[in-house]
Structure 1
Amino acid sequence: MTDTPLWPSATPVPTARLCLEPLRVGHAREAVAVLDDVRLHEWTGGTPCTLDELAAKYRRQSAGRSPDGRHGWLNWMLRRLADGRLVGTVQATLSRPERGGLEAELAWVIGVPHQGRGYGGEGALAMAGWLRDQGVAALTAHIHPGHRASAGIARALGLRPTDRVDEGEVLWRGPVTALPARTARTPRTSRRPAPPP
């Protein structure tokens, strides 16, 4: 017997315009161009990863759990169905707090050329619906108070800001039951099949 919890594994999630592809190391070569923009770090700090750094990061993340097994890691690449291009990522870090239930801390990043088209919200809502189907009861996100686009996505997920601030970011929290009804079930599948990876 082991005390290490079992975590769900990411599976493909279709939306009207996107396919959420479970992360794999091979995504790094394509993703490095999408994420190689210092403007993406305006709110979070840091700098863009090199190809080798991104591949190493994806190798760690695609394990599906933290090294100690205490957290589940779910990562998806957002691929636009219209032309097969990657436009960003969504991710969830799973935990089982002492008070019980499964929680997910969410994050999303959309490449600068693809921002302002609703891909972040579409991907985050699809991920949240998938998480609900896996038994996740509560969602959280850490958002810089000046990042209005991310705050809008959090509101669409039914999250509300709390009084807690960690490293300059406000903790947003909400029950999965706060999701709009359309995300409570699997998002509808586009008529176009997802392009091959």
Structure 2
Amino acid sequence: MKCKINPQNDDESSVETFFRLAEQLIPLAESNLNENKEGTSLQFYRRFCFVGDGLGDAISVCGYASAELWIGWRVNHDGGLSLYNVTYTPFSYFQGGVNVSAASYPAEVSYGGYIQLYNLEVSVNFLISQSQICWDGDFFLYATQAFTSVNTNLLLCQRSIPDMTPWDCDKVQGVQFRHLTYDFFDGTFIDLLPRTCITF
């Protein structure tokens, strides 16, 4: 593994994975640690607060309307002794919705309704061991659906007591719990590359 991590610079926050083959370092995977890189998503949202003004207030109750289009890819690596296992997953999804949130340090909870127009993934798996090289690939187009969900986030807040400055809060993305779901169209699964192995 080779990495360069600099929290102050997005261009210096990446991890690269290499596999030694025939005395040459061949790059097999690179995954950027910043999930909010410019150019990978289009996002729109409006916020209306009834109590407080959202993050930065100790207590707030807000409504949100949002739409987001994401295009990107993920790399997952699960290695072990005498094993190299990596999965490349290009993905894209488009959804919009509305929710109402209530926040007070240290947590934010929201409930909302959403429409997921599409959500697709193409996962390609490579497994390299001492005696085998295997690969397979799958295409997933998840159902077009409407759903409601409960979202929970953590808030990391600070303020200067002597100066009585406003709250300064950062949101840490938490867990989403689906509540009600209605599928408009069923999803599709295609076995693009059947599992194939070469033994040596």
What TM-score comes out, normalization by structure 2 length? 0.26
Higher relative contact order (CA 8 A, sep 6+): 1
* Higher helix proportion (structure 1 or 2): 1
